Amino acid sequence: MRLINLRPTRAGAVWLAVLPFAALVAAYVIASQIRLAENPSDKLLPSLATMGQSMWDLAFTPDRRSGDLLFFADTLASLERLFAGLGISAAIALVVGCLAGFFPYARALFAPFVAAFSLIPPITILPILFITLGLGEAAKIGLIVIGTTPAMIRTLAQAVLAIPEEEIVKAQTLGASSWQIIARIFLPQVWPVLIAALRIGLIPAWIFLISAEAIAATEGLGYRIFLVRRYLAMDVILPYVAWITLLAYVTDRCLSFASRRLFPWAHLKGASL
């Protein structure tokens, strides 16, 4: 049989999915042991036990200065910024994207500006945000908003434009007003696209979050990583990176699951990741 026609069984697919992860962990453990055998105080590839101990201390031993459980405080601070930023982005994108999709006048007004604005490298705006908004939460959330909104606007406007003309004409022949067409035809078909846009926006949102935290913050996952970097504390950095990855993955899965549950009609065609 041709290779393109061979499909793994369910169990086989699980094994195949686990394989790269297992290989990565195994490679790390072996390399770590080799280095530690030569120099027990090596910091570059700490053992899993060391990492576990460091994370335990961060998670369950109150910080001597602040009394916080740093791991949870960091996670909470980062997630608050991330979701605040993404929430604002989604709201702006929904309004502007839909306006640009619905109304030709709004499209003429917004499209060129959004296209130009989206090409500004967001990080270059960060100093401006720090200067104007101060070093607090607003600047960090602002960076996420600026970094993710333009792409989301374009995705949503595109989705509205992609709704076939036939549907709009049909709705009119059923007597629907402009508002009814928006409420019953456009918006319901935009929601799943908004979720898809959020999932895609998640990656740049994390990048901008970590960048902003690395430069000016007093807590947060990105802040911690860049703080302990000075001490080559790989035993904290590596678990934190894994934790951030896990958070991003779970968020993405939750959004995907929500989309399938709430908008099953949007997932009827083709395979999707």
Partner 1 sequence: MSFVAVSNIAKRYGDAPILERLSLDVEKGEFVTIVGASGCGKSTFLRLLLGQERADRGTIAIEGAPIAPEPGPDRGVVFQKYSVFPHLTVIDNLVLPAEIEASPFFGRLFGGRRRKAREEAEALMEKIGLSHAARRYPAQLSGGMQQRLAIAQALLRKPRILLLDEPFGALDPGTRQDMHVLIEDIWRETAMTIFMVTHDIKEAFKLGTRLLVFDKIRHDPQFPAAYGATVTYDLPLHRKAANAAGEGTGPSPHETADLEATLSMPASPRRERAAPAIGQ
Interface with partner 1 (CB under 8 A): 164, 166-167, 169-177, 179-180, 183-185, 188-189, 263-266, 268-269
Of 183 and 254, CB closest to partner 1: 183
Tokens 């939460």 belong to residue: 137
Shortest CA distance to 138 belongs to which of 219, 212, 75? 212
Whole-number Å distance between alpha carbons of 26 and 23? 5
Whole-number Å distance between alpha carbons of 226 and 220? 10
Of 163 and 247, CB closest to partner 1: 163
CA 11-15-17 angle, to 5 degrees, is 115
Shortest CA distance to 86 belongs to which of 266, 264, 261, 255? 255
Of 40 and 164, CB closest to partner 1: 164
- Could you tell me the smallest distance in angstroms from the CB atom of residue 172 to partner 1? 4
CA 213-217-220 angle, to 5 degrees, is 65
Of 103 and 243, CB closest to partner 1: 103
Of 118 and 256, CB closest to partner 1: 256
- Could you tell me the smallest distance in angstroms from the CB atom of residue 52 to partner 1? 48
Contacts (Cβ under 8 Å, ≥6 apart) of 175: none
Tokens 């996670």 belong to residue: 75
Of 118 and 172, CB closest to partner 1: 172
Tokens 């979720």 belong to residue: 195
- Burial code (b: 16+ CB inside 10 Å, e: under 16) for 238-251 equals bbbeebbeebeeeb
DSSP letter for 132, please. Answer: H
